[in-house]
Homo-oligomer: A and B are copies of this chain.
Amino acid sequence: MTRSREQAVALDLADPLGPLREQFELPPGQLYLDGNSLGVLPRATAGRVQQVVRGEWGQDLIASWNRAGWMHLPQRVGDKIARLVGAGAGELVVADSTSVNLFKALAAALSMAREDRPAARRILSERSNFPTDLYIAESLAADRGFELELVDRDRLEASLDTGVAVLMLTHVNYRDGHLHDMAALSARAHAVGATTLWDLAHSAGAVPVDLKAEGADFAVGCGYKYLNGGPGAPAFVWVSPHHAGRFRQPLSGWMGHAAPFEFSPGYRPAAGVARYLCGTPPVLSLAALECGVDTVLAAEPLGGMAALRAKSLALTRLFAELVETRCAAHGFTLESPRDDARRGSQVCLSWPRGPAGGAFAVVQALIARGVVGDFRAGDGGGHPDILRFGFTPLYTRFVDAWDAVEHLRQVMEGKEWQRPEHSTRQAVT
């Protein structure tokens, strides 16, 4: 148990991953605990983006599609991300947004179910899955005659029966940080014949993922959270090599054609996962994403995702313990899992004793002190309002966890959250 700021500082000094922080441009005066929403800027990114803008685009123009390798960026960056999620080279591409990739992957998974198991008509997911995943599934279910079944987390296993076509889950929950047991749920899904589609938005770069060993069939993920790719960075999609060549996905754009520059009027899908590409990729954003992915790959010689995971768990454990000891008087409830094996890289609190809007005001008061976490509204039912704190082991220090809790303690003891300027509600992503 860390009992003083000095002890936290000592943990940082002893941390073999500490130097990875030097890869980032951390904003002065901020204690940023929101890398699960938008990762911070890597030092390499601004220069690389300038090189793409001024050199590759400005000087070489169209020639850069070949000379600078723009044509193969989706695969090149995809191969790098593959190393972080247990996928092989050539199995994962960067493209579009997470929502669009989920559409492609789920559509293919439904085509597979229709062909292999026509009686399986349900898409099973978790009620508290990230909404965009549910919206896309709702749309595809309606269009293709499937039913989207949403259950509470603890009913997932019991709901898996032979009527399930696809089990579609987000690996780490965006609200409370719950980490699903991908291997166990995938095995259970496969036992009833269902395929699995995993959204790695809050996993890639944050927790070890071994897609092939853990039985995933399809996966998508986000570039702008723990991969530090910048605002709205392109997303990625992986399809198990067992299925990648079987189906067209419906967004059959020219970049997924077997020979885009033949300009032939009929679609012929590229081999493997390349058919999950659609239109021309946003090169500037893709170049920035590559710099972000490189910051995570830089941990490979230091133990890679396993080492990052160990630090992440130590950080979230420390933060939660400090809230429960040093802020004990203020009545926060830990909403993220205590069990290391079930917790992603974030800590979530609710404030059941607080007034309506209280959790929001606390987050605002912390932001006013430079401690950036975020707020996620409850649903008035089973899910309370949440104060959410993300820990990115690449750049978050143990002393940051200590200081953040100290700020929280001061906000509560000084009743800073009651100041009128902290109660105005604004959209924050």
Contact = CB atoms under 8 A, between A and B. Distances in A.
Contacts of A49: 49-50, 53, 284
Nearest to A29: B59
A270 B331 CA distance: 38
A184 interface: no
A103 interface: yes
B427 A139 contact: no
Given A62-B38, A250-B140, A250-B143, A286 B232 contact: yes
A102 to B, nearest CB: 9
A345 to B, nearest CB: 16
Interface in A302-338: none
Nearest to A235: B279
Interface stretch (A8-16, A208-216, A258-266, A414-422): A258-266
Counting chain A residues whose Cβ lies within 8 A of the other chain, the interface size class is 35 or more
A25 B41 contact: no
Nearest to A256: B135
Interface in A17-70: 25, 27, 30, 32, 34, 37-38, 40-41, 45-46, 49-50, 53-54, 56-66, 70
A281 B416 CA distance: 35
Nearest to A38: B62
A372 interface: yes
Contact of A139 (B252, B255, B429): B252
A379 interface: yes
A353 interface: no
Contact of A64 (B59, B98, B231): B231
Contacts of A63: 367, 372, 428
Contact of A25 (B58, B263, B427): B58
A410 interface: no
Interface stretch (A115-123, A126-134, A153-161, A162-170): A126-134
Query: Among the interface residues A38, A234, A267, A285, which one has the most CB atoms of the partner chain B within 10 A?
Result: A285
Number of copies: 2
A278 interface: yes
B138 A426 contact: no
A232 B62 CA distance: 11
Contacts of A100: 96, 100, 251, 253, 278-279
A89 to B, nearest CB: 21
Contacts of A64: 231
A98 B267 contact: no
Nearest to A46: B53
A71 B283 contact: no
A143 to B, nearest CB: 6
Nearest to A286: B232
Nearest to A107: B143
Interface string A280-292: 1111111010000
Contact of A135 (B103, B129, B234, B252): B252
A351 to B, nearest CB: 18
A423 to B, nearest CB: 16
Contacts of A426: 66
A278 B66 CA distance: 30
B282 A57 contact: no
Contacts of A279: 96-100, 132, 232, 235
A120 to B, nearest CB: 19
A58 B46 contact: yes
A108 to B, nearest CB: 12
A109 interface: no
Nearest to A54: B46
A233 interface: yes
Given A130-B263, A143-B143, A231-B280, 14 more contacts: A62-B429, A66-B427, A70-B232, A96-B97, A103-B250, A129-B265, A130-B254, A131-B257, A131-B265, A139-B252, A232-B281, A263-B377, A283-B285, A284-B284
